[in-house]
Structure 1
């Protein structure tokens, strides 16, 4: 039942193009990630300023109206799924970059700006925003902050939270907390921004951020190498870290099955044969193009001599570099290999990953309904992804697959979510890598910030 009073109040503070109701919603939103069903919602709002976000939330709080926050809709754990009795706050109109400061090496931006737009804006000032992942062309920075996104360069530059210097956020009662500082050091009490980074919009809505930038590298060198044992992959990582120092910025691993599935299409090049058990994508960023290329080439040759790798291809141009990395960055297309798919995003101690993934794969292969298993990930920070394809879509099968993948996590002190968050999909399994005491503290924080449970309800805990 639509709350007519709520709609009237929203119309009083928003322009016509900032509010959708009834059939307008179905016409505007026909697809959301992971479903082809039309969006169900009481209304969709499009604030343009932090104050408008605050005004909308105050109206919703007064009317006990549940709110779901929408960004770029690239979330993989059901974080943006919306029920017909809920209201959407979409941040897509909050798309202004307020400042790129090349002196302090910061960028101040509204939450609805697309990540790739920020990367390009920084590059224009010869600066680097290190945050980089496959959905950068559609993901919004507010969502990246709210989910503490990771990506391809975490082990060198850290997660999103390591890049956030300042933040502006609206609490569930409409209170605006604005701390848009550009400073790196600030020990004046609790670091409150960290409560909102990674809390998936359950404690407040991020509306602006100040991000720390780096000097843009003058060189980017890449290679793909073939390795025949996981132990040698770990040895290769240690060798390259010690030899390349701070230049090593990417060390991505895909398994043989994943590489073969990606390169069987004529649309992608096959830089190496499909004879190897593992394929590692290596990236170095530096300041001296020729010396950096020669250094990586020399260390790749040394890796061959030491028996760490069996084969290798260096990228000799920007075109070749993009072609090599396309194999890694486009892996999400493998979800179409089966009728239904499940995505996993786990963290494990680096030395244990090989044997654990082998064990998980062995158990999954016992299920007739499982048709494809594609492991890959950010091996240098211990983050492994799975795309598991199946021909049935029953809750029992989904739960069984989840149980198999999550079973080793507690024993090896891993995490069921390295970078994607918990959302709706993983909430039931949070206990596998979080203690009762930790979950209780999360519940207490949620109740303190949002006693009416109106903001992104059902995500993470309740």
Structure 2
């Protein structure tokens, strides 16, 4: 250990190397800021070259490395036990270029998503990836986990928004594929190795991201129905009728909606608590007046034709913000839980209603569960569960896991729609992947990181 530390001290100035007592103010997750980081040391590189030099030293000494981004990971991906070198990319936070002609942004991995949103907006452009943790999530972590969010329906997952990547391999080799082009069939698409691999194959240091022209209109509405079949009907109705403008279609179960809107005036309910399901619909377009009129007409027709029981449309940008604040601020759920357990499962859209209802029914009979909340991105088959429980025992945790995950294999679902596998879901990977797929993943890991030093024991052992 002394040899590694001395080499790292020679590489980085004192202010960017934390050890011992200086780690007390650092943490491994944004929700665990009261727990000090456990690590051999924490390093803050400021360039790809520094990351490369750090990894060369760690590779030489077979030293495990854990990578930190915005620390919003929900599957244990940023945890460390004390013997690892932790590399935080927070200092690599430059937006190097916004190219308006090619509609791309070249960024370092430590750039915070919300900062990117603000920067491209000034150029009349949009980076469409959007979710509640945008104020702290960093691009490197977003890419490494292939994050999803609220607009996957229209724009796809992170992997659809990445054109080029620079990544550092376990031995310090820098792979530079920072291209701005959309179409490139010249052999293997190597950037896809790093997107969604949770930092196990390489550390993403820079990226070229695909931008869109910023919409000039944004509309939103809440609709209410009493059965899941109506949810699917409305999804097809809006997707067909809005001719590509539908950008979000979020579903909130009744008890979740009640809790989300019961805590303060800022998140008061747009619709009364009279229905089983609440749907948040968002549209993005280019003609403010006609887009609003079109959307309003579709809402009215949905009521007239009894596809929806009730609806309310946002009348201003502040209304739109209010509508989305209800959906995004999950603290309105977790703040009232003794302990919480999170899930991000996915399945065919048609099966969501019955599957989630069966989970509710079974969870309600488990002693120790205090709250059950479901909501999610129904248009892409991704539903989130948040379970409040009275203790953190393994027995209770496993009972809950068995309910949520138990039926997914039979219906072709996944234990992770967007959060990844990390440490927490390793035992359940076999539900979503065949033995042959898992073996191929292990083969790739062994070939690219033969010493197993990068984010070890993530995804599989």
TM-score class normalised by the smaller sequence? over 0.9
Q: State yes or no: 1:199 paired with 2:197.
A: yes
Q: Is the 8 A contact 1:427 1:461 kept in 2?
A: yes
Aligned to 2:37: 39
Within a 5 Å distance, the mapping from 1:176-195 to structure 2 comes to 176-195=174-193
- Distance change >3 Å, CA 135–CA 425, structure 1 → 2: same
Q: Map 1:7-406; keep pairs closer than 5 Å.
A: 7-29=5-27, 32-34=30-32, 36-267=34-265, 268-406=267-405
How far off is 1:332 after superposition? 3.9
Structure 1 gaps of 5+ residues are none
Checking the alignment, whether the CA contact within 8 Å between 2:164 and 2:209 is kept in structure 1 is yes
Partner of 2:132, secondary structure, is coil
Contact 1:337 1:372 in 2 (8 A): no
Deviations for 1:161-199, whole angstroms, at most 9, x for unmatched residues? 000000000000100000100000000000010010000
| Alpha-carbon contact 2:29-2:78 (below 8 Å) kept | no
**What is the Cα deviation at residue 337 of structure 1?**
2.1
For 2:374 and 2:30, the matched residues in 1 are separated by 25
Match of 2:419 in 1: 420
Match of residue 429 from structure 1 = 428
Consecutive unaligned residues of structure 2, counting only runs of 5 or more, are none
Kept in 1: contact 2:95–2:106 (CA 8 A): yes
In the aligned structure 2, how far is the partner of 1:116 from the partner of 1:416?
28
Alpha-carbon contact 2:165-2:191 (below 8 Å) kept: yes
**Moved runs in structure 1, 4+ residues, more than 6 A?**
none
TM-score (norm 2): 0.98
Q: CA deviation at 1:336?
A: 2.4
- Check the 8 A contact 2:69/2:89 in 1, yes or no: yes
SS at match of 1:319: helix
Structure 1 CA distance for aligned equivalents of residues 298 and 185 of structure 2: 41
Alpha-carbon distance, 1:299 to partner = 0.3
CA RMSD of aligned residues (A): 1.0
Q: Distance in 1 between matches of 2:218 and 2:414?
A: 31
> Is the 8 Å Cα contact of residues 32 and 39 (structure 1) preserved in structure 2?
no
Structure 1 residue 147: Cα displacement = 0.2
Q: Distance in 2 between the 1:394 and 1:35 partners?
A: 22
TM-score, normalised to structure 1's length? 0.98
How far residue 306 of structure 1 moved from its aligned partner, in angstroms, is 1.3
CA distance in structure 2 between the aligned counterparts of 1:30 and 1:147, rounded to whole angstroms: 16
Check 1:38–1:16 CA distance in 2 against 1; reply closer, same or farther (3 A cut): same
Q: 1:402 to 1:83 in 2, by over 3 A?
A: same
Q: Quote how far apart the aligned CAs of 1:27 are.
A: 3.0
Question: Relative to structure 2, which stretch is displaced further, 328-337 or 381-390?
Answer: 328-337
Give the C-alpha shift of residue 269 in structure 1. Answer: 1.6
